[in-house]
Amino acid sequence: MIGYTTLGTNDMGRAAAFYDALFEAIGAKRFMDFGDSFICWAAQPGQPAFCICKPFNGEAASAGNGSMIAFGAKDKAQVDALHAKAIELGASDEGQPGPRGDNFYAGYFRDPDGNKLNVFVMG
């Protein structure tokens, strides 16, 4: 299925600092780092990864309308903690953690570049 996802950024330093701190909370670390052009994080080698980059075409990065990336959590407490950490790091709230239907618990936020993200757990 998904090997990795990539979001564009206009400020690599700010975005890298945001995701370093956010992913530290779930044990994910950088495994690929090309400085000002491309950085990836993963919880374990060979697992799906999350990356940021400066757009290859040299144009400004922009958040996709209707696009969202979701990070799986181990439980509701981790959803709450990761959402709170994102807000603490400068993300904007797009939906407080809580139940969405019978078997889905999620919190939504936008990173400093405006990309929409979610952290969720099923069950």
Q: Is residue 61 one of the residues assigned to a domain?
A: no
- Where residue 84 sits, what CATH number does that domain have? 3.10.180.10
Residue 16: domain span: 4-56+68-122
Number of continuous H segments (helices) and E segments (strands) in the chain: 2, 8
Q: Is residue 63 one of the residues assigned to a domain?
A: no
Residue 46: predicted pLDDT? 87
Render pLDDT for 42-100 as a digit per residue (tens, 0 to 9). Answer: 999 889 999 999 999 999 999 998 899 999 999 999 999 999 999 999 999 999 999 99
Q: Is residue 62 one of the residues assigned to a domain?
A: no
d(CA 100, CA 120): 10
d(CA 21, CA 75): 20
Residue 57: predicted pLDDT? 94
Residue 2: predicted pLDDT? 87
Q: Are strands 49-53 and 4-8 parallel, antiparallel or unpaired?
A: parallel
Which distant-in-sequence residues (6+ apart) come within 8 Å of 66 by Cβ?
A: none
Residue 44: CA count within 13 A, CB half-sphere? 2
pLDDT exceeds cutoff 80 at 1: no
Phi, psi of 18 (to 5 degrees): -60, -50
Q: Is residue 108 one of the residues assigned to a domain?
A: yes
- Comparing CA positions, the residue from 54, 34, 40, 43 lying closest to residue 4 is 40
pLDDT band for position 104 (50/70/90)? very high
Strand (E) or helix (H) holding 24: helix 12-24
Q: Is residue 36 one of the residues assigned to a domain?
A: yes
Give me the number of domains the chain comprises: 1
d(CA 121, CA 9): 27
